[in-house]
């Protein structure tokens, strides 16, 4: 009897019946989409160098020793190496003043060998993030955080678009192609309205496709910390696409999602498991939502690698702009 029981158990494990029954969402594999984009860029950059240009260059400033910032900038350096961008990390002490940081940015602005400049956020509390972002030459602003690029984006003019927003848009294009559906005219909910993440995603999604920087023509609801929970659920429940960028772990639950919807999880939070291990989690209750969604991004391996790939694209764009 116990042999038969064990055999059934083995068989169940082998074909993973439980998962088979519950899993419905298709995974949007940001890591592999990012890799494909980087492989394409590598070839383009090889061509660029072959016709006589120097390799594009990227300089990333890190202020202080925030471990997440160090990890993210390391990812950017690794990707640069892979695609043929020459990159450099510049460490400034946590105690740096705004003047000291801006002096360093100005040196990079004036250096004709430098194409892309970024200051990894967050900056120390005593320093104004806005002043630092505005100090970067808008032509070298590969993060798209300078006031001029922010303004151009809201007017759908060609500009540097923030990397995470670009990454989300690329994932949505992949979804459109894979699912043979268009986002045009569909209902989208964006949770989170930060100037660097939620808002630029919103700007591209809601706007007209006939501009220089084309929008996706969807109907977008932008939710934030003061959107009442019941309202948020009402909006997400009727959305074809839900994008969450809040950093609130488990905000998006399966009851909030329409069957077959596409769910993009931008959130990244480091948690410690009961076993004492560090783990990255998103805003979306992955195991619950995968039972109802049609498409879903994982964390890690979803939007994060796309942010890095889009930075590579923006840096090459800066190199081409500066060579004109």
Q: Which residues are catalytic?
A: 76, 120, 143
- Residue 267 touches which member of ligand L34, ligand NAD, none, C-beta under 5-8 Å by kind: ligand NAD
| Widest pairwise Cα distance in the chain | 79
Six token digits for residue 183:
């986002």
- Cβ-proximal residues to 217 (8 Å cutoff; 6+ apart), any chain: 183, 184, 185, 207, 208, 209
Nearer to ligand L34, 119 or 150 (CB): 119
**Considering CB distances under 5 to 8 angstroms, the limit depending on partner class, which of ligand NAD, ligand L34, none binds residue 119?**
ligand L34
Q: How far apart are CA 282 and CA 309, in angstroms?
A: 20
* Residue 198's binding partner out of ligand L34, ligand NAD, none, with CB under 5 to 8 Å set by partner kind: ligand NAD
Residues 200-229 that bind ligand NAD (CB under 6 A): 223-225, 227
Token output for 184: 């045009």
Q: How many other CB atoms sit within 10 Å of the CB of residue 122?
A: 13
120 binds, among ligand L34, ligand NAD, none (CB under 5 to 8 A by kind): ligand L34
Q: How far is the CB of 164 from ligand NAD (least distance, A)?
A: 4
3-class secondary structure, 192: coil
Q: Is the N-terminal amide bond of 300 cis, ω within 30° of 0?
A: yes
| H helix runs in the chain, sequence order | 2-15, 17-22, 30-50, 67-83, 98-110, 129-135, 147-154, 163-179, 198-206, 229-237, 286-289, 303-322
Q: Are strands 269-272 and 278-281 parallel, antiparallel or unpaired?
A: antiparallel
Residues between 162 and 221 with contacts to ligand L34, criterion CB under 6 A: 163-164
Q: Does 266 bind ligand L34 (CB under 6 A)?
A: no
286 near ligand L34 (CB under 6 A): no
CB of residue 307 to ligand L34, shortest distance in Å: 5
Contacts with ligand NAD by CB under 6 A: the residue count is 25
Q: Which stretch binds ligand L34 (CB under 6 A): 201-209, 219-227, 289-297, 304-312?
A: 304-312
Residue 93: exposure state from Cβ atoms within 10 A (0-12, 13-18, ≥19): exposed
Q: Give the binding range for ligand L34 (CB under 6 A) out of 67-75, 95-103, 150-158, 247-255.
A: 67-75
Q: Which tokens is 90 given?
A: 């510049």
Q: Which of residues 295-314 bind ligand NAD (CB under 6 A)?
A: 303-304, 307
Q: Is 268 in the site for ligand L34 (CB under 6 A)?
A: yes
Kindly tell me which of 169 and 245 has the beta carbon lying closer to ligand NAD: 245
- Per-residue mark of binding to ligand NAD, 233-272 (x: CB under 6 A): ------------xxxx--x--------------xxxx---
Report DSSP letters for 119-130, one per residue.
EPSPPPTTS-HH
Take residue 256 and report the two structure tokens written for it: 């909030």
Scan residues 111-130 and list those touching ligand L34 (CB under 6 A).
Answer: 118-121
CA 153 to CA 172: how far, in whole Å?
18
Catalog residues that contact ligand NAD under the rule CB under 6 A: 164, 191-194, 196-198, 223-225, 227, 232, 245-248, 251, 266-269, 303-304, 307
In the complex, which residues of this chain contact ligand L34 (CB under 6 A)? 71-72, 75, 118-121, 143, 163-164, 268, 280, 299-301, 304-305, 307-308
């Amino acid at each position: 009897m116990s042999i038969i029981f064990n055999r059934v158990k083995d068989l169940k494990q082998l074909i993973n019946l439980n998962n088979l029954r519950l899993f419905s969402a298709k995974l949007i594999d940001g890591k592999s989409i990012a890799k494909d984009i980087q492989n394409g860029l590598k070839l383009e950059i090889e061509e660029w160098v072959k016709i006589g240009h120097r390799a594009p260059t990227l300089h990333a400033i890190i202020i202080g020793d925030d471990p997440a910032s160090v990890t993210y900038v390391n990812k950017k350096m690794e990707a640069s190496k892979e695609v043929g961008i020459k990159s450099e990390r510049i460490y400034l002490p946590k105690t740096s003043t705004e003047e000291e940081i801006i002096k360093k940015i100005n040196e990079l602005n004036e250096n004709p060998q430098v194409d892309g400049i970024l200051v990894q956020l967050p900056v120390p509390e005593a320093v104004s993030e806005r002043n630092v972002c505005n100090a970067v030459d808008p032509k070298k602003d590969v993060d798209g955080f300078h006031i001029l690029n922010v303004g151009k984006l809201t007017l759908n003019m060609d500009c540097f678009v923030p990397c995470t927003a670009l990454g989300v848009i690329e994932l949505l294009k992949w979804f459109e192609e894979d699912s043979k559906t268009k986002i045009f005219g569909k209902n989208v909910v964006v949770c989170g309205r930060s100037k660097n993440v939620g808002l630029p995603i919103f700007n591209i999604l809601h706007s007209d496709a006939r501009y220089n920087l084309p929008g996706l023509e969807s109907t977008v609801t932008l939710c934030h910390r003061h959107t009442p929970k019941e309202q948020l659920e009402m909006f997400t429940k009727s959305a074809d696409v839900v994008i969450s960028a809040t950093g609130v772990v488990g905000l998006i639950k399966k009851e909030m999602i329409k069957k077959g919807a596409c769910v993009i999880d931008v959130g990244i939070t480091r948690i410690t498991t009961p076993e004492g291990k560090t783990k990255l989690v998103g805003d979306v209750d992955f195991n619950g939502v995968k039972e109802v969604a049609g498409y879903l991004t994982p964390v890690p391996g979803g939007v994060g690698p796309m942010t890095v790939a889009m930075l590579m694209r923006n840096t090459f764009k800066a190199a081409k702009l500066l060579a004109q």
